[in-house]
Amino acid sequence: MAEATVDRRRLVPRTDAVLADPRLVEAAARLGRGPVKAAVVAAQQRVRAGELEPAQVAAAAVAALPGTAGGLRTVLNATGVILHTNLGRAALSPAALAAVVAAGGHTDVELDLGTGRRARRGRTALAALAAAVPAAGDVHVVNNGAAALVLAATALAAGREIVVSRGELVEIGDGFRLPDLLESTGARLREVGTTNRTARADYAAAVGPDTGFILKVHPSNFVVRGFTRAVEVGELTGLGVPVVADIGSGLLAPDPLLPAEPDAASTLGAGADLVIASGDKLLGGPQAGLLLGAAELVGRLRRHPLARALRVDKLTLAALQATLTGPATPTWQALRYDPGALRARTEQARAGLADADAELVESVAVVGGGGAPELELPSWALSLPGRYAEALRLGPTPVVGRVERGRLLLDLRCVPADRDADLVAAVRAAVVAGRAEGR
């Protein structure tokens, strides 16, 4: 007589019983009951589909939940790309993270505690930015670099012309192109020169009564070589209109490691009237658009109605100030990580993965985030079978590396040293899962 088939629906544990698991009780207090119950229901459905054993429902629900109610999952960046746009670019320093937490409650962001009256928003963060770039007559902060450029174009050139080299009409990422961004403000572009060569005389011939400003853009995510010519900021002064320089990557002062990257202090010193930069790239801070320059111009931008729509919140101001005044950022440290120390860390991690077909290999790290496109940093990486890439991305502790020639490379340069054990554990879990699936 054939055995009776067991209806898997009878094996699914009751929702209230699963929710009573201490791990899920804690998660509900942290994340809310709704997301936790949804994770339990999804795990129960996997039992019905034959993908999960009934006893694993609670554990599966716990594994599927995010670490915080924000929904974003913490990822270990083992790509070797320091400012990985898909991973949020710059990792904030511990000081900046602490400042964000402190700013999460009520703060004096627009209040003078001494007088009890309204005060300038973010005044201490702005003072820190001004102190970092003494050549700036005044400073202002908006929500990203593109917003800073939009504010400048709207306030200084709406209905007028912006003179810009054809070789600097760049695409800034995700299909957003500089000409489209600028023309959306009501300004007209007056293109000068050619793709590969532009001379000062080209700018001089284009400047006229209708010119709002000359725009100088640093092509931070590509390099043009060969028969080329570009005009430096210092050559554009004296043409009777403001010179606005978008340096992009957020370097505030010269850095010997990045000789090809323009910095705000030097660009202002060369004669730029206004400099635009990003906060979440080489500066190593939160996403922000930095505006530094002549007090009269920055004042015009700050008073423009659009500035209200582009202003940053108190969390960004707190993180920015801590980045400017606090200890070295993770970005600064990753750029200067000693290859010998990195090799030692990587070798130690490999030693804990004897059964994972892990190898220690030389590698190359890059800046990323549209900065220093030609800079290559000697590095080391764990080389694993490429089939582990997906399992590591989808694990409880997501680990993201890069696949080259069928091998998964894990570069520890941007992984905090105190998370090495988590990375090793994640790889071990991927190996076990692969064996269970016969891979």
Confidence class for position 7, pLDDT limits 50, 70, 90: low
In the predicted structure, residue 94 carries a pLDDT above the cut 90: yes
Burial 142-161 (b: 16+ CB within 10 A, else e): bbbbbbbbbbbbbbbbeebb
- Which DSSP category does 433 fall into? H
Res 65: pLDDT: 86
DSSP 8-state class, residue 91: P
User: Are the CB atoms for 122 and 312 separated by under 8 Å?
Assistant: yes
pLDDT digits (tens, 9 = 90+) for 134-173: 999 999 999 999 999 999 999 999 999 999 999 888 887 6
Has residue 419 got a pLDDT over 80?
yes
Block residue for tokens 């990422």: 173
Predicted pLDDT at 8: 65
Q: Give pLDDT, residue 228.
A: 78
The whole-number average pLDDT for the span 276-289 is 96
Domains and CATH numbers, the chain: 13-64 (no CATH), 76-90+332-436 (3.90.1150.180), 94-327 (3.40.640.10)
88 or 73, which is more confident: 88
The reported pLDDT for the residue numbered 295 is 97
Model pLDDT for residues 52-61, shown as the tens digit of each residue? 899 999 999 9
Q: How far is CA 210 from the centre of its chain?
A: 37
Give the pLDDT confidence score for residue 355 in this predicted structure: 76
When pLDDT is averaged across residues 307-312 and rounded to a whole number, the result is 96
Task: List, in sequence order, every residue forming a beta bridge with 162; answer none if it has no partner.
Answer: 189, 213
Q: Which residues of 212-245 are buried (b: 16+ CB within 10 A; e: fewer)?
A: bbbbbbbbbbeeeeeeeebbebebbeebebbbbb
SS3 assignment, position 330 = helix
Closest CA to 246 of 290, 206, 283: 290
**pTM summary value:** 0.87
pLDDT at position 17 over 70 = yes
